[in-house]
Structure 1
Amino acid sequence: MPSLFKRSLLPKLRSFPLTADAVGILSGAAEFRRCLLEQIASATRRIYIVALYLQQDEAGQEILDALHAAKLARPELDVVVVVDWLRAQRGLIGAGKQPGNSAWYQEMTRTHASEVPIYGVPVQTRELFGVLHLKGFVIDDCVIYSGASLNNVYLHKLDKYRYDRYHLLRNRELADSMQHLVQHGLVASKAVHRLDLPNLPTTRSLRNDIGDLRSRLKHAAYDTTRGSTDRTGLSVSPLLGVGKNNPLNRVICELIASAQQQLTICTPYFNLPLAIIREINRALARGVKIDIVVGDKTANDFYIPPSEPFRVISALPYLYEISLRRFAKRHQRNIDSGQLNLHLWRDGDNTYHLKGMWIDRRYTLLTGNNLNPRAFRLDLENALLIDDPHGEWLEPRRLELAEIFQHTRRIEHFQNLETLAEYPMGVAKFLKRVSRVRIERLLYRIL
């Protein structure tokens, strides 16, 4: 179909050809953990781990021990771990003063004969205004792609899990491209330093280098020179984006604009940017059936039960529900007709962190992008776009969606969602206060 955009990116994307059996989907967080450990143990050339954080807990320890064991067994192995610089140097939210994961990284390097360098990438001088939100683990010629970070709940190490998507893509060109960006676009920067070594520089002292890195990243892209624009079969395109109007944001909007029959969107935090809202409205106007899957507020990773003391961070799930209720109210007619279906995901005490898009029977977007204003303006994000023009990969795609919908319920009416009057006292009081001083809009942009 002709593009609705004057400077369309979709036709110009270079992609790497795939075979249907080279793309696998893991069924859950526990299988993701097992697969990751198996891949690390069998690696022969390289292991590049990129995540928001690698947490000091049982699952994090298991991963870092596996990396050290692999390096000890094969000293020639190229092992690199990259995490967010600021996130690694603070403790968990609400857990009091803690040294952060960097102290643990340093202890692990000091006590092991093998060396696993852990680099911290500062996307901004303050965590509030941008973090490293890249996803993807490169192990030899395999890319393991998930929105998950590395800790107990993301890896289902103990009794709870945080639900995400988990894909394996066996493609040397893709793996090379993703490694090249990490090696030359991140680790080589003067702003990036090893967190596993003592005497870390202060973030303040890196201010100029951080500004230079962010400026460079705004113009950076994955190396796809070995790819092609001739997508006659199944293929994958890696995408990168940081800042306003970046290529990843533009492709996301173009994908929604290209939908003709069916569009499915998953996001854990319902706070869609205006650009996405606009394209969804246009898609509804041209008759596209749309499913949007979000986490129930109790399945949000910031949710705190009303029985526990109120903390400001615990108001976030309610802010997202308010946003969802407003959206549902505006589109109640589309909900009634069945053209728009809003689904809430909940599975016991587990949490929901799943994001991505499925467009008609052709495109599938794998991403860590939360499809919110923060992701569209502040964080460093990436994605893998799978293009399937001949339906070679439809069955695995269908099975993944069926598994996602297994724990959802459809919102029949916007009044099914709670209002401010029904919220816990501490939450309602806080939300009334921020609404009075008109900072609610600011919160939606940065959280």
Structure 2
Amino acid sequence: MYFWQYQAGYSLQEQDIDILLDAQSYRSTLLELIANATHRIYITALYLQDDEAGREILDALHQASLKNPELDIKVLVDYHRAQRGLIGEAHSEGNASLYLQRLQLHKSNVEVYGVPVKAKELFGVLHLKGFVIDDTLLYSGASLNNVYLQYEERYRLDRYFLIRQPELCDAFVEFTEQTLIASDAVPRLDKRPIPKYVDIKGAHKQLVKALKRASYKVSNEKSEGALTVRPFIGLGRRNNKLNRLIKQLFDITEKELVLYTPYFNFPTPLLRALRRLLRQGKQVTIVVGDKTANDFYIPPEEKFSKVGALPYLYETILAKFLKNQQRFVDKGNLNVYLWKHGKNSFHLKGICSDNRYHLLSGHNLNPRAWGLDVENGIFIDDKNGQLIEPIAKEKQTILANCTRLTNYTELQQVSDYPAAVQKILGKAKRVKVDFIIKRFI
């Protein structure tokens, strides 16, 4: 028996789950849910951006509050990320200035909080996902800005699940209130002054301890239903229940494991598990974004910065993996699909094992998610295959913009990379810090 089977999940019916297929649906559904909310809205995301889409969502929250002052509305974002500008731009107060300005403008009951996970953003961020609106959970790896919400033409594709389960929503809200908002390390970002990190350092240590041992409330009664859902949370490499679940989903696969990840850089335990599955003759399908569909990619016509080398680094890791596993590609056991659609980007995450076990998560299946960021996930056990058809439809929609790789030589070679990228990657390898970089991306 696997560890998750010792505790009950929340029961679901097939009609309790809807899978959205595009970013426009994500945006319109979120706005509709906000407008029709009756008693609570809890939004947790890496960031809510100061751009057209971010302002649209924030204004919608304030309007909902003014319409119904009893509505409980709380927004939680990463403390550090909210107080800086975009990478490569001039120093600013970041998105926090928007939160203050909108509260002063609307004078509503919306509250925006900043959660510090580590002392610096580089070493870990708030990567918890899930929007609770009344008794519906809108779960996606997407944050809130123009491209995630496809405010204009460009979009960043993610996965989007609507789950109507009151007890599951209660568990999310209870954790948010009791572990995050109750902490003295989690200040309001829409009021001034915002305490500096040094002022909350002591409270932050206690928050990190709490996050490392945290878990969501589970059902009081063991569910024997054919379709159940259970939330997981994890922080750090040790005693991380979410990581443990991910590893076991790899290990229990009997037929096929399907993986979605935007950044091809598996942690060592997962890479070993993948190789073992292939040696055992199991089917492994990996869907990853082309380097040009990476959110760090910088087109040649734009000014280059060092962070723009990351998509190329991911591609070199993928090429090495394909080269080493070529025999399984040839046999058809390993299928790696590269997603590319115009100038749009790819941000999908998730796991499907044997068309029964499904993990929805913001977890990127990379070393950063494995050990630095605080992550959560929704684990669905579909015993009778009730979700096979909608899950297959989602997969078909994703693969419509994919190309199957048959050989590592189909990827661009390092010698063909832009000179600035070659220089950065070459220097990192020469001074032997590339292995350190890979642990932070």
Same structural fold, with TM-score higher than 0.5 when normalized by the shorter chain = yes
Aligned position for 1:161 = 155
Q: Which of these residues, 211, 234, 244, is aligned with residue 241 of structure 1?
A: 234
Cα deviation for residue 227 of structure 1 reads: 5.1
Q: Which of these residues, 317, 324, 328, is aligned with residue 311 of structure 2?
A: 317
Q: Which of these residues, 288, 292, 303, is aligned with residue 294 of structure 1?
A: 288
- For 1:67 and 1:111, locate their aligned partners in 2 and report how far apart those are by CA, in whole Å: 13
- For 2:322 and 2:205, locate their aligned partners in 1 and report how far apart those are by CA, in whole Å: 40
Q: Which of these residues, 128, 133, 136, is aligned with residue 122 of structure 2?
A: 128
Alpha-carbon contact 2:155-2:345 (below 8 Å) kept: yes
Could you say what the CA RMSD is over the residues aligned between the two structures, in angstroms? 1.0
Q: Which of these residues, 8, 21, 28, is aligned with residue 14 of structure 1?
A: 8
Aligned position for 1:184 = 178
Give CA-to-partner distance per residue, 1:97-138, whole Å, 9 cap, x none.
222010111111111131211000000110000100000000
Match of 2:248, SS state, is helix
Aligned position for 2:347 = 353
Equivalent position amino acid for 2:347 in 1: H
Match of 1:404, SS state, is helix
Q: Within the alignment, does 1:61 sit opposite 2:34 as a pair?
A: no
Q: Which of these residues, 137, 140, 145, is aligned with residue 139 of structure 2?
A: 145
Give CA-to-partner distance per residue, 1:58-93, whole Å, 9 cap, x none.
111110111011100111111100000000000001
Alpha-carbon contact 2:130-2:140 (below 8 Å) kept: yes
Cα deviation for residue 231 of structure 1 reads: 4.0
Equivalent position amino acid for 1:308 in 2: E
Equivalent position amino acid for 1:147 in 2: G
Aligned position for 1:427 = 421
Match of 1:193, SS state, is coil
- For 1:24 and 1:431, locate their aligned partners in 2 and report how far apart those are by CA, in whole Å: 43
Cα deviation for residue 232 of structure 1 reads: 3.8
Q: Which of these residues, 253, 274, 278, is aligned with residue 247 of structure 2?
A: 253
Aligned position for 1:218 = 212
Aligned position for 1:38 = 32
Match of 2:292, SS state, is helix
Alpha-carbon contact 2:9-2:219 (below 8 Å) kept: no
Alpha-carbon contact 2:10-2:219 (below 8 Å) kept: no
Q: Which of these residues, 300, 312, 325, is aligned with residue 331 of structure 1?
A: 325
Aligned position for 1:438 = 432
Cα deviation for residue 283 of structure 1 reads: 1.2
Instruction: Give the direction of change, closer, same or farther, for the CA distance of 1:227–1:416 in structure 2 (3 Å limit).
Output: farther
Aligned position for 1:340 = 334
- For 2:161 and 2:125, locate their aligned partners in 1 and report how far apart those are by CA, in whole Å: 23
Give CA-to-partner distance per residue, 1:334-359, whole Å, 9 cap, x none.
00111001110000000000000111
Equivalent position amino acid for 2:146 in 1: N
Alpha-carbon contact 2:78-2:115 (below 8 Å) kept: yes
Equivalent position amino acid for 1:155 in 2: L
Equivalent position amino acid for 1:279 in 2: A
Give CA-to-partner distance per residue, 1:231-269, whole Å, 9 cap, x none.
441010100000003000000000010101111000000
Match of 2:126, SS state, is coil
Aligned position for 2:191 = 197
Give CA-to-partner distance per residue, 1:370-405, whole Å, 9 cap, x none.
000000000000000110011112111111111111
Equivalent position amino acid for 1:180 in 2: E
Cα deviation for residue 213 of structure 1 reads: 0.5
Q: Percent identity?
A: 47
Gaps of 5+ in 2: none
- For 2:259 and 2:398, locate their aligned partners in 1 and report how far apart those are by CA, in whole Å: 11
- For 2:278 and 2:433, locate their aligned partners in 1 and report how far apart those are by CA, in whole Å: 31
Alpha-carbon contact 2:83-2:93 (below 8 Å) kept: yes
Cα deviation for residue 14 of structure 1 reads: 2.5
Alpha-carbon contact 1:54-1:60 (below 8 Å) kept: yes
TM-score, structure 2 normalization: 0.98
- For 1:425 and 1:227, locate their aligned partners in 2 and report how far apart those are by CA, in whole Å: 60
TM-score, structure 1 normalization: 0.97
Match of 2:378, SS state, is strand
- For 1:227 and 1:51, locate their aligned partners in 2 and report how far apart those are by CA, in whole Å: 30
Equivalent position amino acid for 1:185 in 2: T
- For 2:275 and 2:428, locate their aligned partners in 1 and report how far apart those are by CA, in whole Å: 28
Cα deviation for residue 306 of structure 1 reads: 2.2
- For 2:221 and 2:197, locate their aligned partners in 1 and report how far apart those are by CA, in whole Å: 38
Alpha-carbon contact 1:13-1:237 (below 8 Å) kept: no
Aligned position for 2:374 = 380
- For 1:124 and 1:13, locate their aligned partners in 2 and report how far apart those are by CA, in whole Å: 30
Give CA-to-partner distance per residue, 1:279-320, whole Å, 9 cap, x none.
111111222111100000000000001233321100000010
- For 2:270 and 2:202, locate their aligned partners in 1 and report how far apart those are by CA, in whole Å: 33
Aligned position for 2:396 = 402
Q: How many residues were matched structurally?
A: 440
Match of 1:357, SS state, is strand
Match of 2:359, SS state, is strand
Match of 2:139, SS state, is strand
- For 1:251 and 1:234, locate their aligned partners in 2 and report how far apart those are by CA, in whole Å: 18
Runs of 4+ in 1 over 4 A off after TM superposition: none
Q: Within the alignment, does 1:52 sit opposite 2:46 as a pair?
A: yes
